[in-house]
């Protein structure tokens, strides 16, 4: 049985003071989530990781939004795995479409980052999804297939057990145009079939999230799809009331 997972992606939002306020306000919610066998977390900016870790309930998953694949060195502006581990951060979003679009994050780069995370017993949340042009050209499955195959190339079933995959069609992110549950289930089911082909029965343990304009009003419909195990939520995870609504609507 896969545990449901609700993950907020704060992107470039919230000062450290605002993140602390949210973390304190989320304590009861995290307990409520756990009483109901739901994992819950947020991905703050690097500068707020420590404050969220310190002030939220210890069961809150705190994820970084990116990481470099080298341990240290001349990589100005980057952060490494040991630096995250020092703060007890063991979840990282990899290959979010905004990073693919603005920071040249290729499938190969995602692969290299995930290889380091998996070697360190950390949890990558690997984001995949097609652009509007690719969707309109009917290329969704082709795109998602190469993102999965190239990103996860040569990993072992034992390694990918911890992996989380997030399907986020780019045309639905921050646009209010969420994908229908039929589209979301179709693609998430397809992703699981590729995972099954690559890794065998472990595919049944890998959690697949849907992301893109998820809100308290629509989250329940996604989570009722057989291959959708949770949500990766941007805008609607920023305010505690709406974050709370996301959780209470899937209890
Ligand atoms: P959104 O963002 O919920 O604001 O559409 C989702 C994401 O980018 O993870």
Pocket test for ligand 1, best of 42, 105, 179, 211 (most atoms within 8 A of CB): 211
CB neighbour burial string for 153-186, b if at least 16 within 10 angstroms, e if fewer? eebeeebbebbbbbbbbbbbbeeeebbebebbbb
Query: 168 catalytic, yes or no?
Result: yes
Q: What is the mean pLDDT of the chain?
A: 97
Angstrom distance (rounded) from CA 77 to CA 103: 12
Alpha carbon 54 to chain centroid, angstroms: 21
Q: Report the share of the chain in percent with pLDDT over 90.
A: 98
Give the distance (Å) from ligand 1 centre to CA of residue 106. 20
Residue numbers in the chain where pLDDT is lower than 50 = none
Angstrom distance (rounded) from CA 125 to CA 154: 17
* Residue of minimum CA distance from atom 7 in ligand 1: 234
The pLDDT value given to residue 1: 84
Which one of the listed residues 68, 96, 98, 111 is annotated catalytic? 96
The pLDDT value given to residue 248: 98
- The CB of 216 under 6 Å from ligand 1? The reply is no
3-class SS at 174? coil
Give the distance (Å) from ligand 1 centre to CA of residue 73. 32
Inter-axis angle of helices 27-35 and 16-25, nearest 10? 50
- The CB of 213 under 6 Å from ligand 1? The reply is yes
CB-neighbour burial class of residue 219 (10 A; exposed 0-12, middle 13-18, buried 19+):
buried
In sequence order, which ranges of the chain are alpha helices (DSSP H)?
A: 16-25, 27-35, 46-55, 81-86, 97-102, 107-119, 132-136, 140-151, 157-160, 181-199, 219-223, 240-248
Whether the Cβ atoms of residue 87 and residue 49 lie closer than 8 Å to each other: yes
pTM for the whole thing?
A: 0.98
3-class SS at 181? helix
The two three-digit tokens of residue 33, written as one number = 């989530």
* Residue of minimum CA distance from atom 6 in ligand 1: 234
Give the distance (Å) from ligand 1 centre to CA of residue 74. 32
The two three-digit tokens of residue 249, written as one number = 């609507």
* Residue of minimum CA distance from atom 3 in ligand 1: 234
Query: 98 catalytic, yes or no?
Result: no
- The CB of 168 under 6 Å from ligand 1? The reply is yes
Give the distance (Å) from ligand 1 centre to CA of residue 158. 30
């Amino acid at each position: 049985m896969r545990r449901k997972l609700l993950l907020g992606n704060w992107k470039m939002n919230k000062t450290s003071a605002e993140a602390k306020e949210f973390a304190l306000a989320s304590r009861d919610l995290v307990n409520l989530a756990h009483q109901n066998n739901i994992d819950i977390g947020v991905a703050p900016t690097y500068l707020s990781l420590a404050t969220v870790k310190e002030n939220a309930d210890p069961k809150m998953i705190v994820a970084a939004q990116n990481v470099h694949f080298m341990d240290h060195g001349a990589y100005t502006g980057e952060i490494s795995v040991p630096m995250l581990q020092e703060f007890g951060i063991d979840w990282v979003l990899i290959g979010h479409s905004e990073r693919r679009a603005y920071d040249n994050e290729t499938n190969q780069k995602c692969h290299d980052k995930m290889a380091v995370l998996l070697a360190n017993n950390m949890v990558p949340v690997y984001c995949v999804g097609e652009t509007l042009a690719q969707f309109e050209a009917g290329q969704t499955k082709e795109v998602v297939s190469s993102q999965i195959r190239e990103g996860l190339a040569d990993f072992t079933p034992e390694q990918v057990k911890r992996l989380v995959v997030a399907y986020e069609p780019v045309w639905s992110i921050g646009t209010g145009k969420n994908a229908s549950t039929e589209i979301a289930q179709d693609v998430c089911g397809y992703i699981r079939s590729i995972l099954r082909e690559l890794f065998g029965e472990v595919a049944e343990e890998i959690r697949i999230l849907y992301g893109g304009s998820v809100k308290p009003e629509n989250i329940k419909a996604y989570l009722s799809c057989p291959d959708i195990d949770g949500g990766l939520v941007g805008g609607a995870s920023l305010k505690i009331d709406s974050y709370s609504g996301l959780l209470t609507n899937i209890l």
